[in-house]
Amino acid sequence: MTVYAKLNAARAAFHAKSLKKSGKNSFAGYSYFELGDFLIPALQVFETYGLCPVVSFTDEMAFLDLVDAEIQKGHVNQMFRAKTEVL
């Protein structure tokens, strides 16, 4: 299976999971996902499909490199705009 096929299978498996929002903003009255709400389930799915996530950050961007852990050659690079808040 190619790294892209593994990524698609992992995405489907992750979206099939029922995740719960554990963060609460009592002032504004809403719930939100905290890192622990989705990180452990995501890592479990990646392991199932032989993918190794490598995360790196700059001041404004977050990068997720998914490496095919079985062949150690194929990889997919994803970029995300990082949003930081000062509390």
pLDDT given at position 75: 58
What's the count of helices (H) and strands (E) in the chain, helices before strands? 2, 5
| Alpha carbons 68 and 11: distance in angstroms, whole number | 15
pLDDT given at position 63: 77
pLDDT given at position 48: 94
10-residue block means of pLDDT along the chain (87 residues)? 89 94 93 88 92 83 80 59 53
